[in-house]
Structure 1
Amino acid sequence: MYISIEELASYLNLPVEYIKQQLALGNIKAFQNGEEYVFNKNDFSWHKEQLELKRKIAEAEMNEPIPEDWDAKDED
């Protein structure tokens, strides 16, 4: 199934500008349909899973309490 840049950005929960930038850099593959680029949605399913995993890890780290500051004194 082929989707537009806007649909891909929504699917991956990323800004459209980021998708366009990655396309210009050659980091993602697209097909040109006239003046519009289309993407194979199946090519991005693994990427979506990895993004969701990284978001969960980042959220868990953000919710982790900050350890109490300990004062390391030099005993010498």
Structure 2
Amino acid sequence: MYKTVSETAKDLSMPEEMVLRYIYEGRIKAVHDGEQFLINSDQFDTYLEQLKLLKEEMELWQNTPIPDDMDVRDED
């Protein structure tokens, strides 16, 4: 499915200028139809999956309580 630059920026939570810069740098593949760039959204599937996993891992890490230190009660 092809999306415009603004739709892609919204999906990736990036500014439109950054998406355009990535297109010009070749980091995002796009087709120019004479008026605007069209971007195939399938190229971001892996990126979005990895981003979702990273967010879940960070949330799990942040919600994990700090274990008690075993040496705290040890008074030599």
- Distance in 2 of aligned mates of 1:57 and 1:14: 22
Q: What TM-score, normalized to structure 2? A: 0.65
Alpha-carbon RMSD: 2.5
Change in CA separation of 1:57 and 1:17 when aligned onto 2, cut-off 3 Å: farther
Change in CA separation of 1:53 and 1:15 when aligned onto 2, cut-off 3 Å: farther
Instruction: Give unmatched runs, 5+ long, in structure 2.
Output: 67-76
Matches within 5 A, 1:1-76: 1-60=1-60
The Cα offsets for residues 15-70 of structure 1, whole Å up to 9 and x where unpaired, read as 2122112112111100011120001111211111122233344455566779xxxx
AA paired with 2:2?
Answer: Y
Q: What TM-score, normalized to structure 1? A: 0.65
- Distance in 1 of aligned mates of 2:46 and 2:9: 15
Instruction: Give unmatched runs, 5+ long, in structure 1.
Output: 67-76
3-state SS of paired residue (1:23): helix
AA paired with 1:22?
Answer: Y
Mark the structure with the bigger radius of gyration: 2
AA paired with 1:18?
Answer: M
